[in-house]
Amino acid sequence: TAWLAGAVDRPLWIGLMALLCLAVAAGRVKLHPDTSRDFLLARDCVELNRCHDFGPPTSVRGLWQGTGWTALLSICARMGMGPVSIQLLLLLGQAGSVALLAMLVKRWISRAAALPSAASWMLILAVMGDATVLWNPSPSALPLVITAGSLLLLARTRRTSMALFAGVGVGILTSCHLAFAVLIPPAFALCVLAGARPMLALTLAGTAVVGILFALSRSMVDMNLAQLGQGAVLPVVGICLLGSVGAAAALRKRWRGAGPQTRNVVVGLVCLIPGVAAVAVFTLATGREPPARYWLPAAPFLCVFFGWAIANVRRYARGFRHLAWLATAAMVIATLTMAGRNESWSYSDVREV
């Protein structure tokens, strides 16, 4: 029992557990219906050398996705990888994100919080993030944890280099799925709020985001800006971005006296508020309920808070000594039973579509 307790407390074993659970939950290769179109775009890039710098249309009329997903498919096609190999590659990335989150929580939050935080992230990937389905949000797990970890470390250590990692993560995420653009304002605001050299941190993050988007998805940026500029949306977005950065600059003095736990909570709230606002705007604009994956930008912070809460309950209430184990077991079972229930098709079905 002692050996088992020590083993599952290590991020490597947690990642292997997540890989096994996600692989079992995946069952067979599953593709979203739009993936057949994405494979055609990747084939055009590989065979016809006709690589587009904008992706497929989004759920919001007039807005377009980036090319992060189709670029990954093109690279895999050049290497001779099929859908099964791509699925295994994505599962490795998702399991790596679980292990990385466990390592960050164990090092900077609490050792007892690592396992429940990682297990809750695995469950969210399988149920909300559609980790077992092969489509454009699938590669987002690892960049999302890198972004969240960079912002948390920026708040705790004030290292300016963390702003660069956060900017790279946000740029890759936005290029894969446009919904992750809601992380741009909180990332810039936290660079100004927590960075030891705020202007340098903001410059590094902004350069990374803009550079990656223009390198991968130049036309996507131009078309989306043109579409948003037709109404009052673009000025509102600019005002919100400048307002968040200005508010962060005004609160820097108070931030210096905040404790580690307070900083963790503030980072989570700062990244949660834009996501809630974006979901509300999506609901009002389209008149329908947004997909569950639109909550993913704030999910790593919620997982960290969940693990921290479980660790504190276990610490102060002796009757809940095994609460972390019970919560982890429940989330593993939920991952195995609930993943893949979303509408999906097998590879042969997608070819017919």
- CA angle (160, 163, 165) in 5-degree steps: 120
DSSP single-letter state for residue 1: -
Binning pLDDT at 50, 70 and 90, where does residue 265 land? confident
Which of 198, 195, 140 is closest to 170 using CA atoms?
Answer: 140
Collapsing DSSP states into helix, strand and coil, what is residue 280?
helix
List of residues 6+ apart from 20 with CB closer than 8 A: none
Comparing 342 with 332, which gets the higher pLDDT?
332
**Residue 264 CB neighbours (<10 A):** 20
pLDDT of res. 336: 64
pLDDT reported for residue 168: 93
Q: Which of 137-146, 199-208, 270-279, 340-349 has the lowest mean pLDDT?
A: 340-349
Among candidate residues 81, 75, 73, the one with its CA nearest the CA of residue 36: 73
User: Number of helices (H) and strands (E), helices first, in the chain?
Assistant: 17, 3
SS3 of residue 105 by DSSP = helix
CA dist 24 and 49 (Å) reads 37
pLDDT of 352 reads 47
16 against 161, higher pLDDT: 161
Residue range 104-113, pLDDT digits in tens:
888 888 787 8
134 or 319, which is more confident? 134
Concatenated DSSP letters of 127-138: HTS-TTEESTTG
Are the C-beta atoms of residues 184 and 142 closer than 8 Å to each other?
no
The pLDDT of residue 166 is: 92
Pick from 98, 68, 72: nearest CA to 87: 72
pLDDT band at 316; cut points 50, 70, 90: low
Q: How far apart, in whole angstroms, are the C-alpha atoms of residue 151 and residue 148? A: 5
- CA–CA distance, 336 with 231 (Å, rounded to integer): 45
Is residue 3 pLDDT above 70, yes or no?
no
The 10 Å Cβ neighbour count of residue 169 is 28
The neighbouring-strand residues paired with 134 are 31
- Rounded to whole angstroms, what are the CA distances from 248 to 207, 209, 240, 292? 19, 19, 12, 29
The per-residue pLDDT for range 85-102, each reduced to its tens digit, is: 888 888 889 889 999 998
Residue with tokens 């988007």: 213
Residues 225-236 have pLDDT tens digits of 888 777 667 787
Model pTM score: 0.86
Of residues 234 and 176, more confidence is placed in 176
pLDDT digits (tens, 9 = 90+) for 122-166: 888 887 766 677 888 888 889 999 999 898 888 888 888 899 999
CA 16 to chain centre: 20
**Tell me, what's the pLDDT at 343?**
46
CA-to-CA dists, residue 11 to 19, 22, 123, angstroms: 12, 16, 16
192-221 pLDDT, tens per residue?
888 888 899 999 999 999 999 888 888 888
Task: Report the distance separating Cα 260 and Cα 265, nearest Å.
Answer: 9
What average pLDDT does range 287-304 have in this prediction? 79
Residue 314: per-residue pLDDT:
65
- The residue type of 285 is A
Quote the distance between the C-alpha of residue 229 and its chain's center: 27
Mean pLDDT across the chain, nearest whole number? 79
pLDDT tens string 34-79: 787 888 888 888 888 887 777 777 777 778 888 888 888 888 888 8
Specify the range with the lowest mean pLDDT, choosing from 32-36, 184-188, 332-336.
332-336
Closest CA to 10 of 88, 111, 132: 111
The answer, yes or no, to whether residue 7 has pLDDT greater than 60, is no
Smallest CA-to-CA distance from 277 within 226, 243, 229, 230 is with: 243
